[in-house]
Amino acid sequence: MALTHKTLTEFSDILASDSPAPGGGSTAALSGALGASLALMVASLTIGKEKYAEHETLMQAVHASVEKLRQNLLGLIDRDTEAFDAVSAVFKMPKSSDEEKSKRSAAMQEALKACTLTPFEMIDCSYQALVQIENMCGKYNTNAASDLGVAALSLKTATQGAWLNMLINLDSIKDEQFKNEYRKKGEELSKKAIALADKIYCEIETDLGG
């Protein structure tokens, strides 16, 4: 059964168990999906309101864009756990001969790369969602200001969690070109996303009198 089809209680129970997956990666993806969902809620509460009619086209476009990102993040909840399961499966591969050891080592490296790419996608989706939230600032239904702030915080959590998952996998990858490329990409994109999330949060906090 897909993780996304489980109840909140079931998902929480699995996380609380001694099973190593799902873990931080899938939880980061869930945080991102929830952040995107909140952004969609705020857009929906703005669309169709006469007070915000001049921003109708923008909000419709934001809604369409963020919905795609939400679906991607939901998919990454399961994909991250599947990537980890692939790493676990490698440990069951035979290693009696040099040939078997070589195949096992190659399979592990490919599995670790997959475990790096999924959290990188989480960071990318989270950053794109934050860009859309920034586009909403000053144009959305202010009754939902706190909700938009939580959306930014959730996407920041997704970004930071995904970056940690990239780092722990990059450490074991032997392909230096791949390692250097994704360390640089991940660090640069996560910094941009975190800075943007903080900017959005501070603006909303100030608007609310904080």
Structure tokens at 97: 């001969």
- pLDDT over 60 (residue 5): yes
pLDDT class for 1, splitting at 50, 70, 90?
Answer: low
How many helices and strands, by DSSP H and E, does the chain display? Answer: 6, 0
Q: Return d(Cα 142, Cα 45) in angstroms, integer.
A: 10
The mean-pLDDT minimum among 10-19, 98-107, 179-188 falls in 98-107
Q: For residue 113, with 0-12 CB atoms within 10 Å meaning exposed, 13-18 middle and 19 or more buried, which class applies?
A: middle
Higher pLDDT, 136 or 96: 136
The mean-pLDDT minimum among 81-90, 94-103, 132-141 falls in 94-103
What is the model's pTM?
A: 0.94
Enumerate the H helices of 91-207 as residue ranges. Answer: 98-136, 145-170, 176-207
Q: Return d(Cα 158, Cα 143) in angstroms, integer.
A: 25
| pLDDT value for 14 | 94
| CA-to-CA dists, residue 210 to 43, 147, 201, 205, 207, angstroms | 23, 15, 11, 5, 7
Q: Return d(Cα 207, Cα 146) in angstroms, integer.
A: 10
User: How many residues can be counted in the chain?
Assistant: 210
Contacts 24+ apart (CB under 8 A), 13-22: 20/84, 20/88, 21/81, 21/84, 21/85, 21/88, 22/77, 22/80, 22/81
Q: Map residue 93 onto helix, strand or coil.
A: coil
Q: For residue 16, with 0-12 CB atoms within 10 Å meaning exposed, 13-18 middle and 19 or more buried, which class applies?
A: exposed
The alpha carbon of 91 is separated from its chain's Cα centroid by a whole number of angstroms, namely 27
Q: What angle do CA 41, 43, 45 make, to 5 degrees?
A: 70
55-76: per-residue pLDDT in tens? Answer: 999 999 999 999 999 999 999 9
Instruction: State the chain's mean pLDDT as an integer.
Output: 95
**CB half-sphere exposure, 86, CA atoms < 13 A:** 18
